[in-house]
Amino acid sequence: MKILLVEDDLALSDVVSFTLRRAGFEVIPAYDGAAAMAAWETTQPALVVLDLNLPKQDGFAVCRAIRSQSQTPIIILSVRSGDDAVVHALELGADDYIVKPFSPAQLVARVRAVLRRAGTGVAGGQLAHNGWTLDPLRREVRWREGEWLHLTPLEARLLEALMLNAGHVLTADALIQAVWGVEGASRAMLKQLVYRLRAKLEALSGGDVIETAPGVGYAFRA
């Protein structure tokens, strides 16, 4: 699931990107308003995280331009805490407003909540899909009303990325980025990780829910 992150501060952009990628999202960074509009048009993200103080075109203008064309959820991430800015952003169509400094866990929770309201099936910090429930924070998964099964951090991130995109094939590169971040990993490591996760899920439900798309990647098909 793609998130367009519009933040001009490189360090903050890197930390937010890291946080969102670790939560299983694909992040498209943009560092000014004009680049944000170009990226939004070409990538059609599921959600936009948007700073207000931006070079070239400020966040209000970006918010207004996106909202005039689509209902893509927008979360404002800004140092401006005054009522004027908050009210103006919400009136322009922003779905949520987070004041800096912020907690990464709170940001991820807000992203999931906004996506849930937008109808993407993310529920209460947990991911649910066709009988499967994943709690990314506790790194536990269960099938229907069965026992919770603990996952390793890498397994949890892989399953989170797959469930966020349930029914769609994710490329190996996208999964590697979601699981290992920019440090990366080999396809062989991903293959091993899929093998381990697949075995654990199969033990819970008795069926294989991770489909291999040969030469491309994997999909969660429950």
Partner 1 sequence: MLLESASPISDVVAAERCILVLALLMISALIAAVILIAVAVLGVRRRNAPVVDALRRNEDAVDADQDELESFNAYPAREVTEEEAHQRLRSYFLASISHEFRTPLSALRASLELLVNEENPLDPAEARQVLRAAHLSLVGLQTLIENLLTSSAIEAGRFSLHLAEVDMRLILADAVRVATPLLERRQQPLIVELPAAPALVQGDGAQLTQVVLNLLINASKYSPVGSAVEATIAVQVKEDKGEKGARRKIVRVAVADRGPGVDLALRSEIFRRFVRGHDSEREQYGVGLGLYVAKTTILAHGGRIDVENRPGGGALFWFELNAL
Query: Using CB under 8 A, which of the segments 65-73, 110-118, 124-132, 175-183 binds partner 1?
Result: 175-183
Using CB under 8 A as the binding rule, whether residue 125 contacts partner 1 is answered as no
176-195 positions binding partner 1, by CB under 8 A: 180-183
| DSSP assignment letter at 171 | E
Beta bridge partners of 217: 171, 213
**CA torsion, points 192, 193, 198, 203, in degrees to nearest 10?**
100
Name the minimum Å distance from CB 183 to partner 1. 4
Name the minimum Å distance from CB 194 to partner 1. 18
Query: Using CB under 8 A, which of the segments 10-18, 122-130, 158-166, 200-208 binds partner 1?
Result: 10-18
Using CB under 8 A as the binding rule, whether residue 137 contacts partner 1 is answered as yes
Using CB under 8 A as the binding rule, whether residue 38 contacts partner 1 is answered as no
Using CB under 8 A as the binding rule, whether residue 9 contacts partner 1 is answered as yes
For 159, other C-beta atoms within 10 Å of its C-beta total 25
Cβ contact 69:27 at 8 Å: no
- C-alpha distances in Å from residue 86, one per residue of 79, 92, 122, 140: 11, 10, 25, 36
Q: Could you give the CA distance from residue 6 to residue 13 in angstroms, rounded to a whole number?
A: 8
Q: Which residues in this chain contact partner 1 in the complex, by CB under 8 A?
A: 8-12, 14-16, 18-19, 22, 53, 55-56, 58, 79-80, 100-105, 107, 137-139, 153, 180-183
